[in-house]
Amino acid sequence: MIRSAALVKLTLLGAAFIGTSVLSVSAFADDQETIDYREHIMKTMGEQVAAMNQMRQGKIAPDNLAVHAEILAVTAATAKNAFTPKVVGGEAKADVWANWQDFSKRLDELVAATTDLAKTAKQGGLTAASPKLQGALPCKGCHETYREEKK
């Protein structure tokens, strides 16, 4: 009887251990997916701003500036959903979630600024959009506070 009780305990312990292991592996996998996902969004914005800056600097003809600005605006609007799960890691500092109200407000400002840029680029082309591209996008201010860049 004692031996069988001990076996039952061991089995339960083993099952609990396996359960915990699976749980933590699953949580870890989900966290990495969350980080990867928001990085896809942030990298998209980086690529689009870089393409528009090439146009602003006269390196590439600005024919498609408005399309780039639209991609940027649509992508900016997806960022808040991506950062909503509180998963520290990647290049995001813990301050993102510690100061969520401020971070969230800045993302709203980014959406407003990029929507305005897209509208300006569509209506006025490079000449009208250039000053906004240079000074009105709040990327740097937010990155200085909330991003830990990995080189």
Partner 1 sequence: MRGVRVLREIRAAAIGATAVMLLPAAVHADDNKNKDIIDYRQHIMKTLNEQSAALGQILSTTVPGENTSAHLQTIALAASLALKAFEPKVPGGEAKPEVWANWPDFSKRMTAFAQKTAEMAKISKERGNDAALQNVVDALSCKACHDVYRAEKK
Contacting positions for partner 1 (CB under 8 A) = 29-30, 33-34, 36-37, 40-41, 43-44, 47-48, 50-51, 54, 59-60, 63-64, 67-68, 70-71, 74-75, 77-78, 81-82
Please give the Cα distance from 91 to 93 (Å, whole number). Answer: 6
Q: CA 21 to CA 29: how far, in whole Å?
A: 12
Closer Cβ to partner 1, 14 or 89, answer by number: 89
Q: Quote the least distance from Cβ 148 to partner 1, whole Å.
A: 20
Whether 119 and 72 have beta carbons less than 8 Å apart is answered as: no
Give me the amino acid identity at 131: P
Give the residue from 114, 108, 112, 110 showing the smallest Cα distance to 52: 114
Cβ-based nearer residue to partner 1, 77 or 128: 77
Looking at the Cβ atoms of 23 and 29, the one nearer to partner 1 is 29
> What's the min distance (Å) between Cβ of 142 and partner 1?
19
CA distances 97 to 21, 63, 84, 85, 107, Å, are 27, 39, 8, 9, 13
As measured in angstroms, the least distance from the Cβ of 140 to partner 1 is: 19
Question: Which residue, 43 or 86, is less far from partner 1 as judged by CB?
Answer: 43
Rounded least distance, CB 84 to partner 1, Å: 9
